[in-house]
Chain A
Amino acid sequence: MEDKMVAEMPWLYTALTAYALATFVAIMGVARTRGGAAGAAVSRSYEPLVLGLITAGVVLFVISLAERWIRIGHGPFVNLFELLVSQLFSLGLVYAVAYWRLPVIRPSAIVVMPMMWVLGLWVLTLEPVASVYPPTYHNKWLWAHVGFGKFFLAFCLIGSGIAGIILLRKLPRLVPLFRTLPPDEVLDHVAWRFMLLALIFDSLMLIAGAVWAQDAWGRYWAWDALETSSFLNWLMLGAAIHARLTYRIPVHVGAIAIIAIFVFAFFTYFGTPFYSEAAHKGVI
């Protein structure tokens, strides 16, 4: 067993603390606006603090990743511990930018941040053991593949956060919390925009992954665990967008579909190690 207090751990704990504080402030902030009427100008003074805490968390994750990189000699691409830390960083970064630029999504923090905490709690259960960098990972397409994948998952997460609010608003006790938000139809519109962006980055991730796989293992597609799962995810997303654009799907059904796509993507990324020896066939 590796020492739990290796160089990256203090930064990791601090980063998770920043995310936890952001979650707390976001929930308190939304709770405070419960008296407002729809469309009314309400105090959003808590939002800069949430943004600041998420940004601080992202910076701390960067330091944690850099410390680990220096310690083990390669980037966070191999074992579950480093994949989770890397996702906590990238999901936080994309969400912080979206939070900053698109005020309409800000209340989604009360759904998005707890989702990130699932990753945060998970990473705390893992040992920060050094991983072995496979020879086939010395390839620039790996970076493109992973980078596009991060954007895909982040956009799915934001879409799910907004979809989560649509569903939470169905619960009578929670209606007052979200009274100041735009109607469900507007939130649905925004959530699906993020799913459209997710489709672009999902497609790019599959293309970059295929180019990398061709170089690394001499085939661009082999229906291994991750390839099969990510292709099913792409099909699911494409089918959902087709259905959403063609039929008048009830808003809450659309919200459930978005969350289902995110959950499938989550298991594609993080579930594969449970039913496959390696993420990709030939990686070891």
Chain B
Amino acid sequence: MIAVLKRLASIRLTLLWMALLGIGAALSYDNPVDTPVWVLVVPLALLGVNLLAAIITNTRINRRGGLLIFHVALLGIVVLAAFGRLTHMEAHIELVEGMGFMPERLINVRQGPLHSGRLDQVHFIQGPYTVEYRPGMVRGLTHSHVLIPDGAGGWERKVVGDDRPLILEGYRFYTTFNKGFAAVLTWMPDGGQPETGTIHMPSYPLFEFRQANRWTPAGASEEIKFWLQLETGIDPEGAWVLDARKSRGTLVVRTGGQRVELQPGGTVRLDQGVLRYDGLSSWMGYKLYYDPTLQWLFITSMLGVLGLGIHFWKKFANHPWPQPDDGGKRSERDASRGGKAIIEEGRVI
């Protein structure tokens, strides 16, 4: 058994698997769709086996505390990263101001086969947001206001944005450049119950001149085309702040040959009912990320570097830096102390 482990722990295999991992990494550059994940998984698994065998059998590793910590940490990182991919979740969601988070509204969902987070326990309400723009339409800081449960039956205000995600139940919500306006509409069908909802317009200011969308009410035969004429204070040449609370929007409604411009509160009579434009709102696009191993990955990798640091510290303390006039004297000195001389023993660093 030990003989097999020693073979598996061979340094030649280490170098070979490292080279294989290097090729896998190069092939994975920019995540090309035609590159399978196995180009990384296979060399990582082989390196994991090689590393485990080395930790068990190689006394140059397992009898040196710092080096042992480093190699165990490397193995830990591989295992954690693999577990992270199996349990992770990524998705996107667009939330309108005043709307609560609803898992069923997630789009572009990608998750590992073992994902079992508590997404149903995530509650927050989207509030208003501001985005700063510098001259030349260069996006600056985003401040997105959200309400989260305060644990006492109330709500607590929180501001997130850019590199400050909202973290709930391990799920991390990041604001994105994808945000814009929405028209709040109430559809009052003839003889039916009124229904209020929103029509999201494309991302703003990216699609400043394409603030349009379409919708067909339930039971209606004809599609309604919407176009939102916005007044946001946009200034391509100067600094400005995108703030839906300070913006105004006129909704242009076109259907069945008629064109009507609606101000907030305005209505239009259509074939099957009445449509009311309640007002302008905004939506924020979030990226959702979940990986239960994140903290452990950080702790493990820092422990690994700490182990390596301890090992080198001891090594350097045992073999001080050579001096300029060190010819062969130094190696003789080291040899006489029973240590490994630099010149005779090329493997000592």
Which residue numbers of A lie inside 8 Å of B, CB to CB?
Answer: 38-41, 44, 102-104, 106, 132, 135-136, 138-139, 180-183, 185-186, 188-190, 192-193, 196-197, 199-200, 203-204, 207, 210-212, 214-220, 222-225, 228, 231-232, 235-236, 238-239, 241-246, 248-249, 251, 281
Contact A182 B312 (CB under 8 A): no
Contact A200 B305 (CB under 8 A): yes
Contact B347 A136 (CB under 8 A): no
**How distant is B349 from chain A, measured CB to nearest CB, in Å?**
4
Q: State the CA gap A246–B11 with chains docked (Å).
A: 8
B260 CB-CB contact with A under 8 Å: no
**How distant is B331 from chain A, measured CB to nearest CB, in Å?**
8
Contacts of A242 in B (CB 8 A): 11, 14-15, 18
Contacts of A200 in B (CB 8 A): 305, 308-309, 312
Contact B308 A203 (CB under 8 A): yes
For A224, give the chain B residue with the smallest CB separation. B30
Contact B30 A193 (CB under 8 A): no
Contact A186:B343 (CB < 8 A) given known A218-B172, A223-B31: yes
For B344, give the chain A residue with the smallest CB separation. A185
Q: A38-B327, A200-B309 are in contact. List 4 more A-B contacts (CB 8 A).
A: A196-B312, A197-B312, A200-B305, A246-B347
Contacts of B305 in A (CB 8 A): 200, 203-204, 207
Instruction: Name which of B178-186, B220-228, B233-241, B296-304 contacts chain A.
Output: B296-304
For B287, give the chain A residue with the smallest CB separation. A218
Q: State the CA gap A48–B176 with chains docked (Å).
A: 54
Interface residue tally for chain B (C-beta within 8 Å): 56
Contact A244 B324 (CB under 8 A): no
| Count of CB-CB pairs between chains A and B under 8 Å | 145
Contact B163 A207 (CB under 8 A): no
Which residue numbers of B lie inside 8 Å of A, CB to CB?
Answer: 11, 14-15, 18-19, 21-22, 25-26, 28-31, 90, 134, 138-142, 161-165, 172, 174, 287, 289, 294, 297-298, 301-302, 304-305, 308-309, 312, 316, 321-330, 342-343, 346-349
Contact B287 A193 (CB under 8 A): no
Q: State the CA gap A185–B345 with chains docked (Å).
A: 10
Q: State the CA gap A199–B243 with chains docked (Å).
A: 47
A selection of 24 A-B contacts at a CB cut-off of 8 Å is: A39-B329, A102-B321, A104-B322, A135-B140, A135-B142, A135-B162, A185-B342, A185-B346, A186-B326, A189-B342, A204-B305, A207-B301, A207-B305, A212-B163, A215-B163, A218-B172, A220-B294, A220-B297, A228-B25, A231-B25, A235-B18, A239-B14, A239-B15, A249-B346
Q: State the CA gap A38–B31 with chains docked (Å).
A: 54
Contact A182:B349 (CB < 8 A) given known A207-B305, A223-B31, A228-B29: no
Contact B322 A182 (CB under 8 A): yes
For B70, give the chain A residue with the smallest CB separation. A203
| Contact residue among A104, A135, A183 (Cβ-Cβ distance under 8 Å from B328) | A183
Contact A183 B163 (CB under 8 A): no
Contact A135:B139 (CB < 8 A) given known A183-B343, A204-B305: yes
Contact A223 B28 (CB under 8 A): yes
**How distant is B286 from chain A, measured CB to nearest CB, in Å?**
9
Contact A186 B308 (CB under 8 A): no
Contacts of B163 in A (CB 8 A): 135-136, 138-139, 212, 215-216
For B15, give the chain A residue with the smallest CB separation. A239
Contacts of A186 in B (CB 8 A): 322, 326, 330, 342-343
Contacts of B309 in A (CB 8 A): 200
Contact A216 B322 (CB under 8 A): no
